[in-house]
Amino acid sequence: MSPESPSTSAPSASMTLLQLASGSWIGQAVHVTAKLGIADLLEDGPKSPATLAEATGAHAGALHRVLRALASLGMFAEDAEGRFGLTPLADGLRTNAPGSLRAYSIMLGEDWHWRVWGELLHSVRTGQGAFEHVFGRNVFSYFGEHPEAAQVFNAAMTSRTGQETAAVTAAYDWPTRGIIVDVGGGQGALLSTVLRQNPGVRGILFDVPHVIAAGRELIGAAGLGDRCELAAGDFFERVPPGGDLYLLKRVIHDWDDERAKAILCRCRAAMGKASRLLVIEHVLPPGNIPSWGKLLDLQMLVLTPGGRERDEAGFRALLGSAGLRLERILPAGPTASLIEAVVI
């Protein structure tokens, strides 16, 4: 067999290591095809690199090289005529695909994100977030000053929520009446789904002003304007009172224990005796058990001001410090768990 012939044997440890070490190349190639909207252009069938380049303003030869590399990994497929088509992996980059990851893939390759990951060593040496090291302010202040970056980030978070929503909504016995307060709820993707499935429930979407402005369009498009109040504010200062169920989806992991406790204390102050809190996060498994959350934990390390993923003991202690008791943990697919807590 020649050195260039394909092999059916398992890759060697050194080859696996090489693929891991060069993984950032793959991520950036995925980002490029997502940003150019290649998967959307292939919805009606395979196309040549020249056709795709003309539609996207790209260089045909360079685009061919990117698509060829990704096709070798099962993302896109080249036919005998040199045209590229969708595969199940590439289908997830279509804008309208169920659980589309196009927006998330775009975010991961943006300049502000790419530069921060380039300073992972700084975070490892100092224990401090790389974002502030690179930009001189935390990521949330940066988004307040850079609306285009904030738009990319918000779309990415909505994208991830869309990927998880079915599992999250199926894993919990949602109330059929009362008020659900989604604290730090972004554009309202999860809350709008819950409200549609439970027509007797009302909602309050609570986030910072520039995020709420973006959420207004989503809530309106869902036809929920009469059942969902949009409230802008700072969850370190106060949380809307009167809710029967409070949601915190992917909020606590953005912060260190001190600031996470402050958010939980604001929720605790707003909750009634019968209210419940539902924290939606990764719960890290012990030891060497594989978990995407262990990689996401590195994202928290570089991107956020002290954020981290936590295990069950960490959540139990954190909730307890805020006057809340962890009642149960419900799995919701491979990337999320529902952590239910009540007032002590």
Residues designated as active site = 253
DSSP state of 97: S
- Rounded distance, CA 192 to CA 228, Å? 8
Q: How many CB atoms lie within 10 A of CB 40?
A: 17
Residues 237, 183: contact at Cβ < 8 Å? no
- Rounded distance, CA 161 to CA 191, Å? 10
- Rounded distance, CA 132 to CA 137, Å? 5
Beta-bridge partner residues of 284:
none
Phi-psi region of 172 (alpha: psi -120 to 50; beta: other; left: phi over 0): beta
Question: 270 vs 5, 146, 162, CA distance in Å?
Answer: 65, 31, 28
- Rounded distance, CA 219 to CA 227, Å? 9
SS3 at position 341: strand
